[in-house]
Structure 1
Amino acid sequence: MASRTTLVFGGTSGIGLATARQLAARGETVHVAGRSAERVASVRVEAPELSAHVADGTDHAAVAALAEGVAPIDALVITISSSAGNGPLAELDLAELRKGFDEKVLGMLTVMQAALPHLSPDASITLVGAISAHTAMPGTAGIGAINAAVEALVRPLSIELAPRRVNAVSPGLVDTPWWNALPAETRDAYFSAAEAALPVGHVSTADEVGEAVVLLATNSSMTGTVVPVDGGVRFVQL
């Protein structure tokens, strides 16, 4: 039986990289793509089981060329992220918010559209949003709207693209490089406070979220589904 081929956009760090390594461990041929040449070079050294490529998810031509080169694609995983769009409404930088929509929502749509002709007939598409789409945390209206838009793609596309499957994972607090913009002391203090409030008692790891992504990417009966992997953060106020 031929090996399945997976393409992970945003797969050079965090949840994307954890997912890619888990899929490769299952015997799949896994390609990861990211816009940072430095991260791609690091993946080539640290995870030689993966084929790493430099490609910007907002560049339609670049995505199409990569997808054509690795086709047919049995699973497309898109973990593109953006830190833009945080802050209270009164101080929200709307230009930054627009940048966040462009990077994450339009980025995901660009990857899907460009890769679509190169997907196998029964391929899966798995997106990664965030639980900010569901929580009521002050200062997250902008980034929450971005992630709500990501999740809003799932149901209509699961019908439009059938029998290809479309799903998403909605992570909560995850210890990934996304938090590296904060000083280490600030991040650690926030994580400690969050762990005291979270029902599971710990901040999620990239591997834990990756397990859910793998499930959606490989289970042939799951479509139109958004799976929260958030440690119960949607039930508490941090």
Structure 2
Amino acid sequence: MGLKVGKVTKKYKQKLALLSVSLQVDRGECLVLCGGNGAGKSTLLQILAGVLSPTTGTVTLDGVSLHEHREAYISQIGYMPDDFHARSMITVQEFLAFYASLRNASAAQVEEILHDIGLEKHKKEWIKQLSKGMRQRLLLGQALLGEPTLLLLDEPTNGLDPFWIDQFIDMLKKRKKKGGIIVFSTHMMDVAAEVGDHILFMKNGEIVKQIDTSHVCDKEKMIVQLLNWHRKI
């Protein structure tokens, strides 16, 4: 069970964005995607979220095929894109209520999410009034609605201050304990080392290095190792 990706390739006319990417993430695990701009991280996340269709390859979640049973697959995921696309003249609460209606999430869960992302006191504010960090937390909040099996996050720590990065790490650890599956991209190697069970480095649409952290005891050495790999690619 879990998330399985088999030889996924994505081509745009003559451009190859992903080349035969395969991976597996089990329940209660987190996979982190690392690499420079243009490495293919966002493309892979968009395919896993059903935003893009792969040119070739397969994606399944707990045995449910994205291609063959798209609606059932999509109902199990929460996706946070790397940029905010929403009408600025709606409130924080209206934004979350809209996504809650799509995922059959209760009003009580909306309030719980508002508390978790620290926007309780800002729920009546227009989205355009929020800081970059607040918008990031709001995007994360909508992805968490409905208790998705698979959480897909594209550069979720961008714009977050140190306090909220720590809160973000705690949220992901709690999701893992509940049996959730997490895939996210980041340039922050300390965050990758703290949360990731599997860390993939990508370059030019390919996986060039995979690190399993399950047997690593020294987090500081792990961070140094990840930074070295990040510099290489």
Normalization by structure 1: what TM-score? 0.33
Structure with the higher helix share, 1 or 2: 1
Q: Relative contact order: is structure 1 or structure 2 higher (C-alpha 8 Å, sep ≥ 6)?
A: 2
